Structure formats: C-alpha cells, structure tokens
C-alpha cells in the first residue's frame, strides 16, 4: 500500500528550503577568513547573525559591514570560547538581541606547526582548548537553547586533517583536536536527534585564508596532492554551511562533509 504524506516541507519549493529568513545564527571566529565568509553567506540567505570574535571592536566592525551589505540584523560579541563564563555571556547577549537561536556555526580554531618531539605542552593545551574544548562549550550552550525549543542546527568545524597526516607539515596536535570534534559532534547528534536538534561537521581542505597564507612555501607541495589541482576559495565552503543550517538538510545529522578538492581520496 502506498501512503501519501503531505507536509509543510513537501509544499515548499527546493530553493525555499535553503532560505533562512527570520532565523537567528551565530558564527564563532567570524571576524576573518572562513568564518567571516560563512557569516556573510548566512546573512545573505536571510538569517540575523552574531559575529563572535576575541576583540569587540573587530567583531562590531564586521557585524556592521555584513548588516550594510545584506540588511539583516547583526551584533558583534566578544568571547573567548575556551572560557565557560565567556560562552555563557556570549549566549546571553545573543538571546537578548535576537530572542532565540536557530543556527550555531562553531568555527573558531587555531593552528601551529611543530614536530611531535618538540611540541610544548603549552601549544598542545592551547590547540586542544580552542579547537576541541571551545567547540564543546559552544555546542553545549547552543544545545541547551535549542533543546528547549525542540529545533536547531549546530555545525562544527573540523578538518580533513582529522583523516590524514598533513605531510610535510607536522601538526599532530591540530589533527588530534579536529578528530575529536568529529566524534564529539557525532555523539551529540545521537543524543539530541530525538529533540530535533541536528549536529553536523564540515571538514575543509586547504582554503586560501589568512591562516593558510602563512604557509605559502608549502603550497607547491600541497597542490600535487589535490586531485582538483588548486587551493579552494573561502566562498566555496559557504554553500555547505547554508545547506546544513537550512531546512534543505532537515534529515541530516551526525554527518561529516569533507570539502577538500579530493585530497583525502589519495
């Protein structure tokens, strides 16, 4: 027997499912690089966006820039994602400004290069604090809000480095932190799926950002390992973030989308 199911989602056109009109979002680490590009994309899709950074002046400047380009409501918020009190204050400011939260993109991260035998405990701790603990704290804070409303999309930033060794760069601490993000996100997704709170992961390869620009001497060694033969533009991540934030991905949770030009295929 064939059962016909009629739903609001079926009555929406496919492009409508990608719209974020009226949604409330934040992006950590969004004063530059991939975070800024993706915050702009969420705003272009219709969401009001909180720009989270470590310096309030920069966060407010980026928020103003995005508001002027898109016409949505934006705010700048200062927060250290490794500090629970800062994350709590961040969430309070977002809720004061927007009233609710629908989309969280936990993007803030750092990267340094060091041989494993020379890596200091301080560099290890700082990398794990920002890249993994920070994602946990912000996901937890966002989840608490979304669980109450029985809906939300959390997107966490990992990396293709969770799956490979970044030869010739030695970044065992960075790779470990990003692998942790994937398993953290998968377990949160399983816990929160019954409450319609989705948790997904994006794992980019090399994008031309301020972070990767510091490794210009390595670009010639990266390119032969990328089947598409080029480093990505930052904007090439934005569509994936909008997809995961939107109703177009309403049945997607616990997923990891690797966007690396085919690097991890080798």
List active site positions.
174
Secondary element (H or E) of residue 28: strand 24-28
Q: What are phi and psi of 147, to 5 degrees?
A: -65, -35
Cβ of 260: how many Cβ atoms within 10 Å? Answer: 22
Long-range contacts of residues 221-228, Cβ cutoff 8 Å, at least 24 apart: 221/168, 225/263, 225/266, 226/260, 226/261, 226/262, 226/263, 227/261, 227/262, 227/263, 227/265, 227/266, 228/261, 228/262
Q: Please choose, from the candidates 184, 221, 217, the residue with its C-alpha nearest in 3D space to the C-alpha of residue 200.
A: 184
Structure tokens at 92: 């309070």
Q: What is the DSSP string of 44-106?
A: HTT-EEEEEES-HHHHHHHHHHHHHHH---EEEEE--TT-HHHHHHHHHHHHHHHSS--EEEE
Residue with tokens 């980019």: 204
């Amino acid at each position: 027997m064939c059962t016909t199911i009629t739903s609001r989602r079926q009555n929406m056109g496919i492009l409508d499912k990608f719209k974020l009109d009226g949604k409330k979002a934040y992006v950590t680490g969004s004063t530059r690089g991939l975070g800024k590009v993706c915050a702009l994309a969420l705003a272009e899709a219709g969401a009001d966006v909180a720009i989270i950074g470590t310096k309030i002046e920069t966060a407010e400047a980026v928020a103003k820039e995005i508001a002027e380009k898109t016409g949505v409501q934006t705010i700048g918020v200062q927060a250290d994602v490794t500090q629970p009190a800062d994350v709590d204050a961040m969430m309070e400011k977002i809720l004061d400004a927007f009233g609710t939260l629908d989309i969280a993109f936990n993007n803030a991260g750092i990267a340094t290069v060091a041989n494993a035998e020379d890596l200091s405990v301080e560099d290890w701790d700082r990398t794990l604090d920002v890249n993994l603990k920070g994602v946990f704290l912000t996901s937890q804070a966002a989840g608490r809000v979304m669980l109450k409303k029985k809906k939300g999309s959390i997107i966490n930033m990992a990396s293709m480095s969770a799956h490979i060794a970044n030869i010739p760069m030695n970044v065992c601490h960075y790779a470990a932190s990003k692998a942790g993000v994937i398993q953290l996100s998968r377990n949160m997704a399983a816990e929160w799926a019954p409450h319609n709170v989705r948790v997904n992961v994006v794992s980019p390869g090399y994008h031309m950002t301020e972070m990767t620009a510091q490794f210009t001497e390595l670009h010639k060694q990266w390119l032969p390992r990328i089947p598409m033969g080029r480093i990505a533009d930052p904007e090439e991540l934005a569509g994936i973030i909008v997809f995961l934030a939107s109703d177009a991905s309403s049945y997607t949770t616990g997923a990891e989308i690797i966007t690396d030009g085919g690097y991890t295929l080798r």
